[in-house]
């Protein structure tokens, strides 16, 4: 029987100012204070929380590399609280990424560079960022292992599957979702509600989504951040205003969920690898042509 202790998690939902990096840092310190007062062990903030969604319009002024002392100082201030925040990362050779990074006690534990860069609707991320290339997970403590995917990454089910088959017991999704982002007849709030509930119930793992609030340029951010249990039930949910939501996650619930519905157990990684390789090798050749002598 597992003896893994509960995990206290929080989501800070707020608006960022794309024109004022210092003010955004100050906000992060404030949210850390609020989370500490509620004994939060892991705090998730929205996608690009330090720069705002449209921070890319000032990319060369606001991009930071991982050695930036302001990032380390923020984590040192948080102490033993694990924090995950988003920013524009300047990587090697002047490559820029939409990145979320996990820090604790002044140390970088893990980073994820957004893979799926949307170029549709009012979204034009491919113009500014290089795509990430890896899906990995982070061992937090005991049997808690984090999968971290940024916004549109979660709309590629294969990426979530890759996190889960690597042992993720917690799915975290920092997002930047505006009402108008995709299309007039596409309901982003309902879409995210369905998506997060689906992943939690399908894979038997709790999930956390952190959205922003406010208005930037032509996008209205609707908030709706949430924490779900491994059966897809909502433990905490924010409205449309800035808020800190918290919940306590129980590993025993994951055990029950995955015993009831063993999706991860039955994932058959070797078959997926074989079939993916086969498809890649024959890509562009219709099956009815391929099978004819």
Phi, psi (degrees; rounded to nearest 5) at 210:
-120, 115
pLDDT digits (tens, 9 = 90+) for 182-200: 988 889 999 999 999 999 9
pLDDT value at residue 289? 46
Is a pLDDT exceeding 70 seen at residue 241?
A: yes
CATH of the domain at 161: 3.60.110.10
pLDDT digits (tens, 9 = 90+) for 27-85: 999 999 999 999 999 999 999 999 999 999 999 999 999 999 999 999 999 999 999 99
Is a pLDDT exceeding 70 seen at residue 2?
A: no
Flag whether 99 is in a domain: yes
pLDDT value at residue 292? 43
Flag whether 275 is in a domain: no
Mean of per-residue pLDDT scores for the chain: 94
Flag whether 292 is in a domain: no
Rounding to the nearest 10 degrees, give the CA dihedral for residues 128, 212, 206, 25.
80
Domain that holds residue 123: 7-264
Is a pLDDT exceeding 60 seen at residue 243?
A: yes
What token pair was written down for 96? 């820029």
Short-list 163, 143, 142, 160, CA closest to 151: 160
What token pair was written down for 36? 């500490």
Number of domains in the chain: 1
Is a pLDDT exceeding 80 seen at residue 254?
A: yes
pLDDT value at residue 280? 86
Q: What per-residue string of b and e applies to 179-211 under the rule 16 or more CB within 10 Å gives b? A: eebbeeeeebeeebbebbbebbbbbbbbbbbbb
Flag whether 161 is in a domain: yes
Phi, psi (degrees; rounded to nearest 5) at 255:
-60, -45
pLDDT digits (tens, 9 = 90+) for 160-178: 999 999 999 999 999 999 9
Flag whether 225 is in a domain: yes
* 24 neighbors 52 (Cβ within 8 angstroms): yes
Flag whether 186 is in a domain: yes
Place of tokens 């890509």: 283
């Amino acid at each position: 029987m597992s003896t893994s202790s509960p995990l206290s998690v929080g989501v800070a939902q707020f608006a960022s100012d794309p024109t004022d990096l210092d003010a955004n840092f100050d906000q992060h310190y404030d949210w850390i204070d609020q989370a500490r007062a509620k004994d939060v062990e892991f705090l998730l903030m929205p996608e690009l929380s330090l720069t705002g969604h449209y921070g890319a319009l000032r990319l060369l002024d606001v991009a930071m590399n991982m050695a930036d002392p302001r990032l380390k100082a923020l984590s040192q201030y948080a102490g033993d609280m694990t924090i995950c925040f988003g920013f524009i990362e300047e990587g090697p050779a002047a490559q820029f990424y939409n990145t979320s990074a996990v820090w604790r006690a002044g140390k970088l534990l893990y980073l994820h560079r957004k893979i799926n860069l949307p170029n549709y609707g009012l979204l034009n991320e491919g113009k500014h960022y290089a795509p990430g290339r890896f899906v990995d997970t982070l061992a937090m403590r005991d049997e808690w292992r984090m999968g971290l995917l940024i916004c549109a990454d979660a709309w590629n089910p294969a990426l979530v599957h890759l996190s889960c088959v690597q042992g993720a017991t917690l799915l975290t999704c920092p997002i930047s979702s505006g009402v108008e982002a995709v299309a007039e007849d596409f309901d982003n709030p309902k879409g995210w509600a369905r998506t997060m509930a689906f992943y939690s119930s399908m894979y038997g793992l709790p999930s956390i989504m952190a959205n922003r609030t406010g208005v930037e340029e032509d996008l209205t951010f609707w908030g709706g951040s949430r924490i779900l249990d491994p059966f897809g039930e909502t433990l905490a949910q924010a409205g449309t205003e800035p808020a800190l939501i918290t919940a306590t996650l129980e590993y025993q619930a994951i055990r029950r969920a995955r015993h009831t519905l063993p999706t991860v157990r039955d994932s058959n990684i070797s078959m997926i690898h074989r079939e993916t390789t086969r498809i890649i090798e024959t890509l562009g050749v219709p099956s009815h042509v391929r099978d004819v002598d």
